[in-house]
Amino acid sequence: MGKPDTRHLDRQIRETTRKLDAARQRQMWPLNGRERRAILAAMTSVSVKVARHKSTDRDVTKADQAWESAATRLQAEITALETERQNVVNAAAAEKAAKTAKKSSGWW
């Protein structure tokens, strides 16, 4: 038995890592719909308040929180994918060990 097939999980981990890096650079493409709406609503509110010469502190904080929640979500996805990959590797190792033990016990 060869190495376990983790290509699919490895590809998903790479994609999610790219998304996390993009979200940390404040790019919109890796965000889901709810996060996009929250950021756009906060930025719209900021632009209206700037035009009216009012304070924008609360709205900027909301936008920052939305970016942080997106980064947290993506980090959690990476962690879950890495855990799943490790489970696949561990299961393959246990199966290989069981086969090896079965072969060696039959010889003697």
The stretch 51-76 carries a mean pLDDT of: 95
By the 8 A CB rule, do 58 and 93 touch?
Answer: no
- Single-letter amino acid, residue 56: T
Overall pTM > 0.95? no
The stretch 81-95 carries a mean pLDDT of: 94
pLDDT of residue 105 exceeding 80: no
From CA 12, how far away is CA 16, in angstroms rounded? 6
- Sign of the four-CA dihedral 35, 39, 42, 48: negative
User: In 1-108, which residue ranges form alpha helices assigned H by DSSP?
Assistant: 7-24, 33-51, 57-107
